[in-house]
Amino acid sequence: MAKQVDARGFSCPQPVIMARQAIQAGEFPIDILVETVTSRENVKRAAENLGCQVTVEEMGNEFKLTLSK
């Protein structure tokens, strides 16, 4: 079961901060939920810079990013 981080409703940089905290906790896989393209791109970039593999799933007007090592 993936750890889930619900970052919907937060503006940047908060979703990135939430993702970094989850990555540092080291409980993979991690699902990050965001609702804007900007948040999706910023979280994806930050996770990749921290050595994670990222898959993105579009769910209507929202996005689920799954992070793994």
pLDDT at position 39? 97
pTM: 0.94
What is the residue-averaged pLDDT of the chain? 96
Which pLDDT score is estimated for 11?
92
Burial class (CB in 10 A: 0-12, 13-18, 19+), 12: middle
* pLDDT value at residue 45: 98
Identify the CATH homologous superfamily for domain 3-68: TusA-like domain (3.30.110.40)
Q: What is the pLDDT of residue 2?
A: 87
Neighbours of 13 (CB within 10 A): 13
Cα–Cα–Cα angle for 15, 1, 53, rounded to 5 degrees: 55
